[in-house]
Amino acid sequence: MNHLIRPALYGSHHNIINLSPCDLPKENAFICGNICECADTLGSNIEISGKIGDILCIENAGAYGYVMSSNYNERPRPAEVMIEETGHRLIRRRETFEDMRLKI
């Protein structure tokens, strides 16, 4: 709901891949956010392997990812990373609860 609202709003699809090393077999999964809301979905019917704590990449979120994000339910926004042919780079650091407190 606060990270990427597009799938909940109008069913947008984003490829989701696991960036963490994982030897587990791929399974058909439902990827959700960290807020206990029925609309806090990032993807469904995603073939992926992984475990709790792995880092997932939600591809092609684009500019709308951050612009449409919010501090809904008092949650900080995630970091944004630009993936390029030559590697990756942090373009916006993860928000902290302290950052949110300073906005008030």
Q: What is the DSSP string of 26-77?
A: PEEEEEE-SS--TT-EEEEEEEE---TT--EEETT-HHHHHHT---GGG-PP
pTM above 0.85, yes or no: no
Choose the most confident range, by mean pLDDT, from 42-51, 54-63, 76-85. Answer: 42-51
Alpha carbon of 104 to those of 61, 92, 98, 99: distances in Å?
Answer: 28, 20, 10, 9
Residue 104: pLDDT band by 50, 70, 90 thresholds? low
Q: Please, what CATH class does the domain formed by 6-103 belong to?
A: mainly beta
pLDDT tens, position by position, 4-39: 878 888 888 888 999 999 999 999 998 887 777 777
pLDDT at position 88: 86
Which residue would you say has higher pLDDT here, 14 or 103? 14
Residue 81 confidence (pLDDT): 85
Comparison of pLDDT for 96 and 48, the residue scoring more: 48
36 is catalytic: yes
- Among residues 32, 36, 38, 57, the one annotated as catalytic is 36
The residue that leads in pLDDT, 68 or 22, is 22
